[in-house]
Amino acid sequence: MDLLFLGTSSGTPTRSRNVSGLALTEETGKRWYLVDCGEATQHQLLRTPLSLHDLSAIFITHVHGDHCYGLPGLLASAGMSGRREPLEIMAPQGIKQWVDATLTMSRTHLPFDLVFHATEQLGEWRNSNLRAQAIELSHRVPSYGYCFTEARPDPRLDVEKLDREGVPRGHLWGRLARGHDVEFEGRALRSDDFLIFNRKPRRIVVGGDNDTPELLNEVARSAQVLVHEATYTQEIAERGKADFGHSTACAVASFAESISVPNLVLTHFSARYQANPERSPSIADIHTEASGVYSGRLFLAEDFARYRLGRDGCLERYREPARG
Amino acid sequence: MDLLFLGTSSGTPTRSRNVSGLALTEETGKRWYLVDCGEATQHQLLRTPLSLHDLSAIFITHVHGDHCYGLPGLLASAGMSGRREPLEIMAPQGIKQWVDATLTMSRTHLPFDLVFHATEQLGEWRNSNLRAQAIELSHRVPSYGYCFTEARPDPRLDVEKLDREGVPRGHLWGRLARGHDVEFEGRALRSDDFLIFNRKPRRIVVGGDNDTPELLNEVARSAQVLVHEATYTQEIAERGKADFGHSTACAVASFAESISVPNLVLTHFSARYQANPERSPSIADIHTEASGVYSGRLFLAEDFARYRLGRDGCLERYREPARG
């Protein structure tokens, strides 16, 4: 499971950081998922190996423009590039109606179907490789985090159970092994009930904008990776220079430490934090603050930074950024 | 009067060309105007000297996404950067309602007023330095060109007339000279009625998407510069590979030649035309086609290319692109 950051700035783009967008790629390296779609996410994608044809689903955390204004353009470009596969979009109330209205206003006719799911009523979304659930967070508007869990970690067939239940060897076993539910003698057999998973599934939790990291407690405890905004340092927040509704580096890092999540990736930095560590405030201040309270593997995301979550639960940054 | 191209690709962005956006800058070098605002226009601006604080007005040619999807993000960023001055937007039917709906959906509260004018009923828009009028074109949706004319080319006071009408020397003369209308003894005096202009005003015509360049006949005849889409070459159009509603390089160049407009800038190229002239089709094919029928000064726009229209009516490209 790979993470590729397409935008890591809060509110407005800067010359080196776009607004929010994060690609989660399956281990196969092809099928991928997009979390948030700020303006110019499609432009960022042009500099990565990812194709809009292989995009499986989009997950929007909340309605603020820096998290969704890129949707109509990305959809239109997917259409112009010949996509025909339906595309699923999980999004909070308001997004579906706005996307529809935008496409209508601009007379844009997509050659593929959009299948919207309201984040508020998502329950669990899944396909053969991934399960996703939404967690309500605390922000100025309704905001959600998404918990992505590997659906079938190193599966093998439960042969004893299959024999016990009289399911004959052959194509039924094959289909069950590949994750398909089947029918046998009028009975519905769920693949998951006949698979044994050889390790703990990998799990990545991606927060939306949020001032209370503890709301992710339940899902993040069993995650290997937490990706969370750290818009400000404590100092800026205390000086009253911060918009409300966000987390500080210290708050997120303390929460991550308290639940012992082994990998923490901070993102969504206020544009005031500069790349040059000799200037103040700088991105280095955020790192200093977080590393003071968090003892796990800490990463500060950059645009086009790419990470791999191995089966051992360890997150590694690729040496080469994805940028082409 | 300067032109700075922010996007020169048709439909979708490429790695080297964004979708439509064109900045027209006053000779003072500060106040500027934006024609069309495709997605990521605000990102392009980050690489130029132009500030959203000095943006005087926006002119949208038509509702297609590659010409307007960047509006909400640009407005939101102008607000976040502290703009308080009202902003005028000329736009065809549908845009105002969509911008309002987008800002409402995303809970974006601009700290400045938007003043919309319907392009369909624009008549003439003007401020102290510039006049603009809209011309209806022919495209798949209602589309407009804009004709920008210097309002006061090298003005001097008509002293004889002022004396004749008994207007006393002093601050009233000063205000009239600077382009302000004044009141004198109950009479409204229009600045323009007391100014003599020492040369022909500069005029730049910028077309929207359009399959009939001749519709610009009347305004472009007296222009020094025509900026027009040349989405395709004749060959691609004849092979039926082109969307309808656009102009070929040949058609635009022939029109420009027929009315003897001295400077022609082509833009809005289909993404199929490649930068490398050894590949086919390439941008060079568009140049070849246009230069075959047009004998004036021909330019093919590139992102960040900057041009100056001198008082002599000659358009010159700056050696250095604006890109920073």
User: Do A148 and A30 fall within a single domain?
Assistant: yes
pLDDT over threshold 80, residue A242: no
Task: Tell me the shortest Cα–Cα distance from A102 to chain B, in angstroms.
Answer: 7
Q: Is residue B322 part of a domain?
A: no
Nearest to B106 among A68, A80, A81 (CB): A68
Question: Do A43 and B73 count as a contact with CB atoms less than 8 A apart?
Answer: no
Domain final residue pick, B194, B218, B249: B194
Q: Hey, is the C-beta of B106 within 8 angstroms of any chain A C-beta?
A: yes
- Summarised one tens digit per residue, pLDDT across range A259-295 is 999 999 999 999 999 999 999 999 999 999 999 999 9
* CB-CB under 8 Å, B40 with A80: no
- Claim to verify: residue A56 and residue A134 sit in the same structural domain: yes
CB contacts < 8 Å between A and B, how many? 104
Active site residue B100: no
The pLDDT > 90 percentage for chain A reads 90
Q: Which residues of A touch B99 (CB under 8 A)?
A: none
Tell me if B46 and A76 make a contact (CB, 8 A cut-off).
no
Q: Return binding residues of B.
A: 62, 64, 66-67, 139, 209, 268
Out of B66, B211, B285, B303, the active site residue is: B66
Q: How many domains does chain B have?
A: 2
Same domain for A57 and A144: yes
Domain co-membership, A34 together with A183: no
Does B115 lie at the interface with A, CB-CB under 8 angstroms? no
How far does the CA of residue B324 sit from the closest CA of chain A (Å)?
10
- Inter-chain touch B63–A107, beta carbons under 8 Å: yes
| Cα separation, B218 vs B205, whole angstroms | 11
Does A317 contact chain B (CB < 8 Å)? Answer: no
Q: Please give the structure tokens belonging to residue A84.
A: 């025909």
CB-based contact, A10 to chain B, within 8 Å: no
Is A310 inside any structural domain?
Answer: yes
Same domain, B176 and B211: no
Using an 8 Å Cβ cutoff, are A54 and A42 in contact?
no
Residue A223 has pLDDT above 90, yes or no: yes
Q: How confident is the model at residue B244 (pLDDT cuts 50, 70, 90)?
A: confident
pLDDT greater than 80 at residue B137? yes
Residue B128 — pLDDT band, cuts 50, 70, 90?
Answer: confident
Kindly state whether residues B261 and B246 are assigned to the same domain.
yes
Q: For residue A322, is it within any domain?
A: no
Residues with Cβ < 8 Å from B102, sequence gap 6 or more?
A65, A69, A98, A102, B72, B108
Contact B94 A105 (CB under 8 A): yes
Structure tokens at B203: 């005029």
Confidence at residue B27, expressed as pLDDT on a 0 to 100 scale: 84
| Domain assignment present for B324 | no
Query: Both A25 and A163 in a single domain?
Result: no
- Determine contact: B195 vs chain A, CB below 8 A: no
Q: What residues of B are in contact with residue A80 (Cβ under 8 Å)?
A: 11-12
Q: Does A108 touch chain B (CB under 8 A)?
A: yes
Element (H, E) at B250: helix B249-259
Q: Write the CB contacts of B29 (distance below 8 Å, at least 6 apart in sequence).
A: B2
Mean pLDDT, range B57-65, rounded to an integer: 98
Report the alpha-carbon distance of residue B204 to residue B263 in Å, rounded: 10
Q: Is A39 on the interface with B (CB under 8 A)?
A: yes
3-state SS assignment for residue A86: coil
CB contact under 8 Å between A98 and B95, yes or no, is no
| Spatial contact of B71 and B45, defined as CB atoms under 8 Å apart | no
- For residue B163, pLDDT over 70 is answered with yes
Do A147 and A225 belong to one domain? yes
Nearest chain A residue to B48, by CA:
A15
Give yes or no for residue A321 having a pLDDT over 80. no
Residues of chain A neighbouring B108 (CB-CB closer than 8 A)? 64-65
Q: Give the annotated binding-site residues of A.
A: 62, 64, 66-67, 139, 209, 268
Residues A279 and A150 in one domain: yes
* Full domain range(s) for residue A272: 2-154+199-317
Is the pLDDT higher at B72 or at B151?
B72
Could you list the residues of A known to form a binding site for Zn(2+), using ranges: 62, 64, 66-67, 139, 209, 268
Taking all residues of chain A, what is their mean pLDDT, rounded to a whole number?
95
pLDDT band at B324 (very low <50, low <70, confident <90, very high): low
pLDDT in tens, B5-54: 999 999 999 999 999 999 999 987 789 999 999 999 999 999 999 999 99
Residues of A identified as active-site: 66
- Residue B245 C-alpha, separation from nearest chain A C-alpha, in angstroms: 14
d(CA A3, CA A308): 6
As a whole-number percent, the residues of chain B with pLDDT over 70 amount to: 99
**Is B121 inside a domain boundary?**
yes
CB proximity A11 to B under 8 Å: yes
How many angstroms separate the CA atoms of A215 and B72, rounded? 31
**What band does A324 get if pLDDT is binned at 50, 70 and 90?**
low
pLDDT > 90: percent of chain B: 89
Say whether residue A265 is in contact with chain B using an 8 A CB cutoff.
no
How confident is the model over A198-207, as a mean pLDDT?
95
In a domain? residue B323: no
Quick one: A183 and A301 in the same domain? no
- Mean pLDDT, residues B81-90 taken together: 97
DSSP state of B20: S
Question: With a CB-CB cutoff of 8 Å, which residues 41-80 of chain A face chain B?
Answer: 42-43, 46-47, 63-66, 68-70, 72-73, 76-77, 80
What is the structure's pLDDT at B239?
86
Domain limit, last residue, from A140, A167, A194: A194
Distances (CA, A) of A105 to A99, A100, A136, B99, B177: 10, 9, 31, 10, 45
Mean pLDDT value of segment B180-186:
91
Nearest in space to A11 (alpha carbons), one of A271, A241, A252: A271
Cross-chain Cβ contact B13/A42 below 8 Å? yes
Q: Which of B10, B12, B37 to mutate to test the interface with A (most CBs of A within 10 A)?
A: B12
Residue B188 inside a domain? The answer is yes
Integer Cα distance of B228 and B268 in angstroms: 8
Residues B263 and B283 in one domain: yes
Find the CATH number of the domain harbouring B83.
Answer: 3.60.15.10
**Annotated binding-site residue numbers of B for Zn(2+):** 62, 64, 66-67, 139, 209, 268
Whether residue B142 lies within 8 A of chain A, CB to CB, comes out as no
> Which of B140, B167, B194 is the last residue in one of the domains?
B194
Residue A28's pLDDT is 77
- Helical segments of chain A, H only: 41-45, 65-68, 71-80, 95-105, 159-164, 171-177, 217-220, 234-238, 249-259, 283-291
Report the candidate in B102, B17, B65 with the shortest Cα–Cα distance to residue A74: B65
Say which amino acid occupies B190. R
| Residue B88 in domain | yes
Tokens of B101: 């709906």
B204 & B101 share domain: yes
**pLDDT for res B323:** 64
Q: List chain A residues with CB under 8 Å of B69.
A: 39, 69, 72-73, 102, 106
User: Residue A322 has what pLDDT?
Assistant: 65
CB contact A105 to B (< 8 Å):
yes
Q: Which residues contact B101 (CB under 8 A, 6 or more apart)?
A: A98, A101
CB–CB contact A65 B108 (8 Å) = yes
